């Protein structure tokens, strides 16, 4: 994810669903922040993208997790007219990368999480859980590439991507991708897009739960596994969901 002075185009897959007019307002952006997790250590990192209304927020990180190290990240992307969080991660021997990512969009927002996870050496693991809740005419996108090198045997990578549309006019894009050159690996991905479960809403209504409260409860449950253990981000997400209910 090196620095470039050329404005991205839609021919660049990583910017395929972006609001390029918004990107042009702040281009060129700063070089990615470099993060190194030293061998044998553990790091937890939280990223909140909450640019002001109408603003553009772009966060880019270039990450190396060295041998036997562990990085657990949580990303909450909910601010600005256009908000992007892009992570380029390289994993050493036996390293682990965990990501819980949530996109919350409404109005005309375009929000995205873009990841490239490189299993460069054997025995590394990665687990990405991405949830999007989109209302009005918002667009939420996840593009996630997992690249397993030829010598990276025993790699284990999982991507779980789900989007919930609160409005028929909202748009969700999901593009999990695997590029595997090793032959002894476990890699899986799945992506779904749907609406609130009518049967669940009916059940809650039958128990005396009002429509707004029922909607909030279901959406909170939907994103919960991406924010496990992060009480601060969970509280911010609940505030957003309650204000949208």
Q: pLDDT for 36-67, tens place per residue?
A: 999 999 999 999 999 999 999 999 999 999 99
What tokens appear for 141 in the block?
């996108």
H-helix segments, the chain: 20-26, 198-206, 211-223, 231-244
Dump pLDDT digits (tens) for 120-152: 999 999 999 999 999 999 999 999 999 999 999
- Band of residue 2 on the pLDDT scale cut at 50, 70, 90: very low
* Cis upstream peptide for 28 (omega within 30°): yes
Quick one: pLDDT at residue 245?
59
Which pLDDT belongs to residue 115?
A: 98
Q: Between residues 203 and 127, which one has the greater pLDDT?
A: 127
**pLDDT tens sequence across 232-243:** 999 999 999 888
Q: In this model, does residue 1 exceed pLDDT 50?
A: no
Lowest-pLDDT range of 3-17, 41-55, 150-164: 3-17
Quick check: 104 and 75 in contact, CB under 8 A?
A: no
Helix, coil or strand: residue 212: helix
pLDDT in tens, 170-201: 999 999 889 999 889 988 888 898 888 888 87
Residues 6 or more apart whose CB falls under 8 angstroms from that of 134 comprise 103, 104, 105, 106, 140, 163, 164, 165, 166, 167, 170, 171, 172
pLDDT above 60 for 3:
no
Give the model's confidence band at 210: pLDDT under 50 very low, under 70 low, under 90 confident, else very high: confident
What percent of the chain has a predicted confidence (pLDDT) above 70? 98
Instruction: Tell me the pLDDT of the chain averaged across its residues.
Output: 93
- Give percent above pLDDT 90 in the chain: 78
CA 236 remoteness from chain centre = 16
Over the stretch 95-113, which tens digit does the pLDDT of each residue have?
999 999 999 999 999 999 9
Structure confidence at residue 214 (pLDDT): 85
pTM to 2 decimal places: 0.94
């Amino acid at each position: 994810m090196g620095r470039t002075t050329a404005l991205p185009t839609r021919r660049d897959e990583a910017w395929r669903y972006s609001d390029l007019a918004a990107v042009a307002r702040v281009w060129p952006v700063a070089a990615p922040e470099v993060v190194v997790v030293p061998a044998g250590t553990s790091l937890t990192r939280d990223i909140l993208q909450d640019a002001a209304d109408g603003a553009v927020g772009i966060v880019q990180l270039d990450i190396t997790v060295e041998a036997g190290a562990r990085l657990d990240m949580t990303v909450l992307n909910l601010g600005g007219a256009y908000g992007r969080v892009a992570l380029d991660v390289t994993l050493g021997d036996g390293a682990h990368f965990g990501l819980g990512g949530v996109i919350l969009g409404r109005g005309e927002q375009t929000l995205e999480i873009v990841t490239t996870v490189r299993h460069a050496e054997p025995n590394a693991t990665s687990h990405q859980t991405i949830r999007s809740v989109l209302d009005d005419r918002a667009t939420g996108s996840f593009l996630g590439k997992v690249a397993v090198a030829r010598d990276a045997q025993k790699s284990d990578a999982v991507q779980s991507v789900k989007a919930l549309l609160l409005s028929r006019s909202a748009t969700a894009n999901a593009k999990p991708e695997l590029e595997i050159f090793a032959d002894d690996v476990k890699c899986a991905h799945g992506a779904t897009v749907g609406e609130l479960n009518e049967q669940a809403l009916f059940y809650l209504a039958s128990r005396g739960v009002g429509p707004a409260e029922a909607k909030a409860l279901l959406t909170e449950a939907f994103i919960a596994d991406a924010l496990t253990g992060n009480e601060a981000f969970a509280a911010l997400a609940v505030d957003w969901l309650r204000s949208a209910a």
